[in-house]
Amino acid sequence: MKMLIKLRETRVQLGMTQEELAGKVGVSRQTINYIERGKYKPTVILALKIAKVLNKNVEEIFVLEGSDWE
């Protein structure tokens, strides 16, 4: 679950709460929570917004896993 670890780690390193990130990208806090827990895979647009807010490339936050190819 590389994707989850990188999103949460990056957000926490920046001192940002789930609520703050959610507000900046226009989703609910629950959506950010679901993404971090692996319960929801973000759309491309949402992934790009999250990466931009966190000042990272998408690939630094979201990583394809082997199961994503199936």
Residue 17 lies in a domain: yes
Residue 22 lies in a domain: yes
Residue 37 lies in a domain: yes
pTM of the predicted model over 0.85: yes
CATH code at position 32 = 1.10.260.40
Domain count, the chain: 1
- Segments forming the whole domain that contains residue 32: 2-58
Which of 59 and 28 is assigned the larger pLDDT? Answer: 28
Helix axes 29-37, 18-25, angle to 10 degrees: 110
Specify the pLDDT at position 67: 72
Q: What is the number of other CB atoms lying within 10 angstroms of the CB of residue 44?
A: 9
Q: How confident is the model at residue 65 (pLDDT cuts 50, 70, 90)?
A: confident
Structure confidence by residue, pLDDT tens digits, 6-44: 999 999 999 999 999 999 999 999 999 999 998 899 999
Residue 16 lies in a domain: yes
pLDDT of residue 1 exceeding 80, the answer is no
